Amino acid sequence: MTDGGDRPEARGDRPGSDQASITAKILTETSRFATIQIVSAILGWIAQIALARLLDRRDFGVFGICQFYIGLGTLLGDGGLGAALLRRRNHATQDEYRSTLTTLLAIAGAFASVLFFLAPWLAQANKLTPDETNVLRFMAPLYFIGALRVVPYVKLERALQFSVIARIELVASLSRHAVALAIAAFHGGVWAFVWAQLVSACVQLILAYKVSPGWVGLGFSWAVFRPLIAYGSKVQALSLFAYFKDNLSRALLGGYAGPTSVGVYDFGTQYSQMPVTAVNGLARVQLPVYAQFDARDPTLHAALRGAVRTAMLAGVPLLGLLALAGRWAVPFIYGDQWLPALPVVWGLLPNMVCGLVLSPLFTLLQGQGRAGLALILFGCWTAGTWVLALAGLFLFPGSLAVVAWGQSIATVVVTFYLVIWASTHLGRNVASGLKSPLIAGALALAAGTVLLWRGWGFTSHPLVAAAAFLIVYAGALWAMERRELAQEAKGIYAAVFGKSKTSTQR
């Protein structure tokens, strides 16, 4: 990928009317995608609450460990071929699809065989029981399902049909939740997750081919395959770094402390990352937007600033509420068995705040053709996270909170660097809209923490601390930039209701 050669503005081969049409489609698909993602996230949260009460912490940990090895094999087996097809400048050919599918199925067969024979060794390394060893083998078909799904998904994403993808994933999620809850309620155990994952993957595959039909067949051409793997391997290296960073607990804590610790750490991560997940989900539709403009175009800076500022304005108060109310919310909603995850939640708080900003910034790197820099940064981020986590476990054996703080420290450093880089690259200060939400959030968190740990009587209740956080946050933010907030509110109102009014007049 070059620094601009692949972008429409740089090529100059697209008429203005077509450009406007594509931009309108991106905006429409973005709004639909975001709406469906919100619905899916809410349903997933409800299912997570029920499963947290029905199943044991070890069940979550065992499935997490097994899912790590399945996901790692799927990631390595993909080889970045899907990403290469997705980012191809011209239309992908039938030969390219065919060579990609054939290669992925062959690799899937190899990984499934390896997993079957190595399952006992992997189970022993992660302190799994003989029955839990069968979980690894039973999940091996997921390699083939993932390979078969690549072609229809690439076709949908190249056509910018993100809302269609979101609907597919919503139906798959509903099927996963339904199967998991049914088995957990009547049988229990880790198999609730296993069957749910298999059913969901099959549903997703069937629906993908239904909305994007066409079997490309099997066949292989080295001349066709070589340029795809040459580009895809670079993209895949970044994904591999990200995978080991995001699955720190499953890769490290399973062998160190066993499945229960993995379940506790993963719960703390999932509990605190809900706002960040919503932001990360929009990266798929932000990428085409960031690729439309040159670095010094004011529109690009406005788009990025709007993305990170909106994420911070909404995400910071949500993260503060989750942390401060956790001492009441976790046992009340999920059950007492998950209280040991609260130190992890607090340790990951800086990591999650930075995550609100990092997703748009890394998307900017990709959209502006800086895949090499993104790869280096992700490599340093992953290495730093692992080094700090290992050092923490060595100095404070068994402390999950130390692992969480190590993850946060590495993320804060990467965030500072990326904000500076983006400001230099765009020629404008990217952090200009972040200062006020951060200051307001820090003041509010300090006030809430004081009440939580030093309050008296009812003032020390977690809900009182969370309410105080919201009051201080809103007050401080309004005091610092009331004019800008009012203008932004008017802009949102005009964008939503003004469009509707125009359409009505027409």
Domain identity same for 211 and 264: no
449 in a domain, yes or no? yes
Does the pLDDT of residue 8 top 50, yes or no? no
Distance CA 495, CA 254 (A): 49
Q: Which of 377, 403, 431 is the last residue of a domain?
A: 431
Domain identity same for 283 and 410: yes
- pLDDT-above-70 percentage for the chain: 84
Question: What are the distances in angstroms from CA 263 to CA 60, 245, 257, 448?
Answer: 5, 17, 11, 28
Domain identity same for 348 and 492: no
Domain identity same for 277 and 202: no
Does the pLDDT of residue 504 top 50, yes or no? no
338 in a domain, yes or no? yes
44 in a domain, yes or no? no
237 in a domain, yes or no? yes
Domain identity same for 366 and 307: yes
Question: 502 is in which domain, residue-wise?
Answer: 434-506
Does the pLDDT of residue 164 top 80, yes or no? yes
Largest CA distance in the chain: 74
Give me the helices (H) in 368-461, please: 371-395, 400-426, 435-454
What per-residue confidence (pLDDT) applies to 2? 38
Domain identity same for 162 and 264: no
Domain identity same for 425 and 505: no
Extract the tokens encoding 134.
């069968």
The alpha carbon dihedral of 70, 36, 22, 12 has a sign of: negative
Domain identity same for 397 and 438: no
Count of the separate structural domains present in the chain: 3
Q: How confident is the model at residue 63 (pLDDT cuts 50, 70, 90)?
A: very high
Least confident of 171-180, 302-311, 372-381: 302-311
12 in a domain, yes or no? no
Q: Give 266's Cβ-side CA count (13 Å radius).
A: 27
8 in a domain, yes or no? no
- More confident call, 377 vs 21: 377
Identify how many contiguous H helices and E strands the chain contains and give both numbers: 24, 0
Mean pLDDT of 325-352: 94
Domain identity same for 449 and 414: no
Q: Which of 431, 466, 490 is the last residue of a domain?
A: 431
Distance CA 146, CA 169 (A): 14
178 in a domain, yes or no? yes
Domain identity same for 202 and 131: yes
pLDDT digits (tens, 9 = 90+) for 278-315: 666 555 555 556 766 777 878 788 778 877 888 888 88
Q: What is the pTM of this model?
A: 0.77
What per-residue confidence (pLDDT) applies to 10? 39
Distance CA 480, CA 242 (A): 36
3 in a domain, yes or no? no
Domain identity same for 84 and 171: yes
């939580």: which residue's tokens? 452
Domain identity same for 366 and 448: no
Mean pLDDT of 204-232: 85
Extract the tokens encoding 74.
């799927």
What per-residue confidence (pLDDT) applies to 291? 63
Give the number of other Cβ atoms within 10 Å of residue 406's Cβ.
Answer: 23
The H-or-E segment that residue 151 falls in is: helix 142-158
Distance CA 274, CA 287 (A): 21
Distance CA 70, CA 201 (A): 13
Distance CA 270, CA 263 (A): 10
Phi, psi dihedrals of residue 6, rounded to the nearest 5°: -90, -5
Q: Which of 188, 216, 246 is the last residue of a domain?
A: 246
